[in-house]
Amino acid sequence: MSPGRGRILKRLFIGTGTCVVVAVLVTALIAWDEFSPPEPFPVLDPAEVEAARPAVAGDPIEIATFGSGCFWCTEAVFRRVKGVRSAVSGYSGGTVENPTYDQVCWGSTGHAEVVQVVFDPTAVTYAELLEVFWRSHDPTTRNRQGNDVGTQYRSVIFYHSDRQRDLAERYMRKIDEAAIFQKPLVTEIERFSVFYPAEPDHQDYYARNKRQPYCQATIGRKLDKLKRVFGERWDE
């Protein structure tokens, strides 16, 4: 099993296996990993949201877990959504306890790179987070996002309640029926089991490394486009 091709480009493994960004990737990433959020895009109407299983009364916060490729980018996206209190990069959906980043990079643990989002449902709904999720990556490519190839980069939703599962399934059907994408969605919808936070070096990665070539070429450009799409829902 080998690491995703994008990770080979983005990092050079040195010494103990620590990953560093490789500057020579910039030209390839700009040409190959360009992203544009789909427009227009369907949303779940109030009746569809109401038809889902009821929310738990009195819960001031909720948790959502999404995988949409490299978690550096996914985390940067959700940190900018108003109503999100925190977004933590990590690993879910695998078979190895406490996996390391290098293990997950090699695709040998079954985990996906994910971001666990804590949000205020009175400020942003789960349905709205689903919209951000599906509009911020390509959910039609199985086990791949741009240059990142492997099961660790799969499009996946780990639901924390029956209501989250219902909303995700309803929304996924609506997107496919609207033929927003040229191909059907391949997003996996799985019950949440366990979340392992990634190492400190991977938390808030974009904010700490904005000048690095990968961040400029891929993450920064995506954030600029999403800011134009989401407008007032976007929080810098």
Q: Kindly list the catalytic residues.
A: 70
Collect contacts of 120-125 with beta carbons under 8 A, ≥24 apart: 120/60, 120/61, 120/83, 120/84, 120/85, 121/55, 121/59, 121/61, 121/62, 121/83, 122/83, 123/82, 123/83, 124/81, 124/82, 124/83, 124/84, 124/233, 125/49
Q: What is the DSSP letter of 232?
A: G
- CA 217/CA 121 separation, integer angstroms: 33
The Cα–Cα gap between 27 and 31 comes to 6
Tokens 């949000």 map to which residue? 119
Burial of residue 220, with CB atoms counted within 10 A of its CB: 0-12 exposed, 13-18 middle, 19 or more buried = middle
Query: Cα torsion for 34, 197, 199, 91, to the nearest 10°?
Result: -50
- How far apart (Å, rounded) are the C-alpha atoms in residues 30 and 217? 6
Q: Which residues contact 36 (CB under 8 A, 6 or more apart)?
A: 225
**Is residue 140 classed exposed, middle or buried when 0-12, 13-18 and 19+ CB atoms within 10 A define those classes?**
middle
